[in-house]
Amino acid sequence: MDGARLGPARTAQVDDAPPARQTGAPRYPRYRLIRERRGPWLQLFDVAGFEWNRLEVAIDDLPDALVGLRILHLSDLHLRSRWLAGYDTLIERLRQSPPDLIVVSGDFVEHRADHRAALPTLRRLITGLSSRLGTYAILGNHDGDLLGPRLRDWGVRDVSGRTARLESPNATLEIVGVPSVSRLDLDDAWLGSIGPRQPGVPRVVLSHYPDSIRRLAPLECDLILAGHTHGGQVCLPGGWPIITHDKLPRRMSKGVHALPSGALLVVHRGFGFADLPLRVFCPAEVIEIELVHDLVSPRPERERFSS
């Protein structure tokens, strides 16, 4: 392992950020980020050697049945007709150690106008990903609404603009999908249709656009998983992004950020290429998230969560 980072010692400052949750002291999830495999500084034509990051997230009222739940976060695959060696590596890794759940925060395909050429690649990759509880996803601005039915045919639960509740006798997990094909899809009517977070029911929000956090405080979520920025894709040495296509500060174009609302924002650097098949000082990544009570207590024995 490459090392771990504990956080957050401070919360992210976001211009025009919503007020913190008014429930006594603000509840900032604690996290530990572990870089299990460091990616290369240059990737050309392939995502081989992609970075694997493991994120432990402490949630105060997490039910015992959800302690240790592993969520694999993918984003911005930008698939084309060509099959890449990196896809085989990911499929084999998940075959050997399947997570409990896979979530994808949009942009499955590269070409916005016609995704048909990418469909064989998409089908082969999606059906090759292994997990116990399935794959949940939202669409991104490259996907278009017509891609949703294809994903559902291949077993992906499209939660764009919807809420999914994974329930077992001892615990419930909520996944809320922000409608993200267009930034205009996120409106007050949709936000008002999502009820308040229930105690002991962790809420994970999928939002393609990170800067949607300015509107998401009413959801009282624990985790916001986003993408879209590619972390800059082509960065200066040290990983400083040149272009992010997002209105948040550049330092928030990737990584983990504690928000004033009490949520934890995780911005995925992406698993593919947009436009040019090139990544510089910003390798493709996979983020594996594990839910815990805290970062120091021994984990209790539990029956595996099953919905």
Residue 299 falls inside a structural domain: no
Top pLDDT among 100 and 146 is at 100
Q: What is the pLDDT of residue 2?
A: 41
Residue 21 falls inside a structural domain: no
> What percent of the chain stands above pLDDT 90?
77
Work out the pLDDT band at 186, boundaries 50, 70, 90.
confident
Residue 258 falls inside a structural domain: yes
pLDDT at 180 over 70: yes
User: Cα angle vertex 157, ends 155, 162, to 5°?
Assistant: 165
Residue 298 falls inside a structural domain: no
Residue 97 falls inside a structural domain: yes
Query: Which of 12-16, 142-146, 156-160, 263-267 has the weakest average pLDDT?
Result: 12-16
Residue 5 falls inside a structural domain: no
CATH number at residue 80: 3.60.21.10
Q: Tell me the whole-structure pTM to 2 decimals.
A: 0.90
Work out the pLDDT band at 11, boundaries 50, 70, 90.
very low
Mean pLDDT of 88-102: 97
Q: What is the pLDDT of residue 299?
A: 63
Are residues 23 and 220 in contact, defined by beta-carbon separation less than 8 angstroms? no
Structure tokens at 249: 């500060």
Q: Name every residue whose Cβ is closer than 8 Å to that of residue 150 and which is 6 or more positions away in sequence.
A: 119, 122, 123
* Average predicted confidence (pLDDT) for the chain: 88
Task: Tell me how far apart the alpha carbons of residues 245 and 35 are, in angstroms, rounded to a whole number.
Answer: 25
Work out the pLDDT band at 306, boundaries 50, 70, 90.
low
Mean pLDDT of 189-214: 95
Q: What is the pLDDT of residue 18?
A: 38
Residue 11 falls inside a structural domain: no
Domain enclosing residue 254, as ranges: 26-292
Q: What is the pLDDT of residue 302?
A: 57
CB atoms within 10 A of CB 95: 11
Structure tokens at 145: 């609404």
Residue 19 falls inside a structural domain: no
pLDDT at 79 over 90: yes
Q: What is the pLDDT of residue 146?
A: 83
**Total structural domains in the chain?**
1
